Structure 1
Amino acid sequence: MAVNLSKGQKVDLTKTNPGLTKVKIGLGWDTNKYDGGSAFDLDATAFCLNDSGKVNSDNDFIFYNNKNNSNGSIQLSGDNQTGEGDGDDESVVIDLGQVPAEVQKVAFCITIHDAAARNQNFGQVANSYARVANEATGEELIRYDLGEDFSIETAVVVAELYRHGAEWKFSAVGSGYRDGLAGLCRDFGVQV
């Protein structure tokens, strides 16, 4: 049975799941019904961060135009441009044992593509979540439902997977950004 987290909670991932080598971080969302004239396109992104909370290079920024980190241990599923249907809208698969040693943390984010031009924000998004599943079995291990605490934000740091000694832990973050993907890139050290 999956562990359900609230904002700010952290949980051991590998310690409580011995033998776990590959995980799938599933991200999902629905858009509220509204007539804004533009379709919503939400995107999952991941930032591979060093111990100072920055990327080592722009290759450590994983998004729809760069679906893998440098050694392929972290891979984005693709770009679902509608968010239609049930289940995960986009996902990231991580081979935990192959993640480069300099990567101390992986931040998982959801952004709204062209949010400012389309006059869109996370106040118009519902049922957002992140979940961790065992890639081999599909078993859901951890789930974090974001709730509806956002109104003007156009990007959200949903969760983080981070090293703690030889183990990996998962943290429910739920931190919103007003200036979207550009703000995330700036804070995580990606050259924009």
Structure 2
Amino acid sequence: MAINLVKGQKIDLTKGRSSLSSIMVGLGWDPVETKKSGGFLSGLLGGGGGGADIDCDASVIMLDENGKLRGKENLIYFGNKKSKDGSVVHSGDNLTGEGEGDDETINVDLKRISPSIHRLVFVVNIYNAQKKKQDFGMIENAFIRLVDNQTREELVHYNLTENYSGKTSLIPGEIYRQGNEWKFSAVGESTTDSDIGSIANKYA
């Protein structure tokens, strides 16, 4: 049974789970539903009863023990779907967020992560947010969850419930190394960065 976390909570992933080696990180979101209308606003949002066409992108920033990003190869996103050590694999880009369940997934093989990597920071940002005048106030039901790839058991689920209006990127959570164990932290932070490059530069 999954443990539901709130912002700021941390949990051991591997302690007591010696068999846990590969996890699926699922990230999901939905466009805010708009009321049916034939008016001008409806046209802007893509028709009556639907949500805005918002393209959210999930990424992973792989950091060293000092919290630094060492090289572009440690930034995993739709343009670089696999880490150099093969431990992190991105499923690909979902352009709309429509439908239930995970919108984008990232597989993480904990056993294959390079010893030089100590933190995996998961980021979701809105593609072309400034140009499209979009922000996370137009998104609802955002979550991050971790699933054991071997047993398919959902280990952790964190719903992001804050109002992120005006924000264009989210850091829902991170996996980090502590000794020989791996832990997960429900971060739930937001920024006004418009692309993954500007977020990654903060860790350079």
**TM-score, with length taken from structure 1:** 0.94
Instruction: Please state if 1:48 is matched with 2:62.
Output: yes
From 82, 92, 114, the counterpart of 2:106 = 92
Aligned to 2:28: 28
SS in 1 for 2:164: coil
1:23-172 equivalent positions in 2, closer than 5 A: 23-34=23-34, 35=42, 36-37=44-45, 39-172=53-186
Does structure 2 conserve the Cα–Cα contact (< 8 Å) formed by 1:177 and 1:183? Answer: no
8 Å CA contact retained: 2:69, 2:200: no
1:187 maps to amino acid: K
* Equivalent in the alignment of 2:10: 10
Structure 1 CA distance, aligned partners of 2:94 and 2:33?
18
**Alpha-carbon distance in 1 for matches of 2:66, 2:188:** 20
For 1:70-121, what per-residue CA distance to the aligned partner results, in whole angstroms no more than 9, with x for missing partners? 1211001111111111110001101101100110000001100000000000
How many angstroms apart in 2 are the aligned matches of 1:100 and 1:86?
Answer: 34
2: distance between equivalents of 1:150 and 1:16?
35
CA contact (8 A) 1:74 1:92 kept: yes
Larger radius of gyration: 2
Deviation at 1:148, TM superposition (A): 3.2
- CA deviation after TM superposition for structure 1 residue 58, in Å: 0.5
Where do 5+ consecutive residues of structure 2 fail to align? 35-41, 46-51
Number of corresponding residues: 189
Give the SS at the match of 1:180.
coil
Where structure 1 has 5 or more consecutive residues not aligned to the other structure, the ranges are none
CA deviation profile, 1:104-144 (whole Å, cap 9, x unmatched): 00000110000000000011110000000001121100011
Fraction of identical pairs, as percent: 39
Moved over 6 A (4+): none
Farther-moved stretch of structure 1 (32-41 vs 155-164): 32-41
Whole-Å Cα distance in 2 between the matches of residues 102 and 58 of structure 1? 15
1:123 alignment partner, SS class = helix
Partner of 2:49: none
For residues 2 and 65 of structure 1, what CA distance do their matches in structure 2 show? 31
Q: Deviations over 1:22-41 (max 9, x none)?
A: 00110000011354456210
Say if 2:31 and 2:53, in contact at 8 Å, map to a contact too: no
Question: C-alpha displacement at 1:183, in angstroms?
Answer: 3.2
TM-score, normalised by the number of residues in structure 2: 0.89
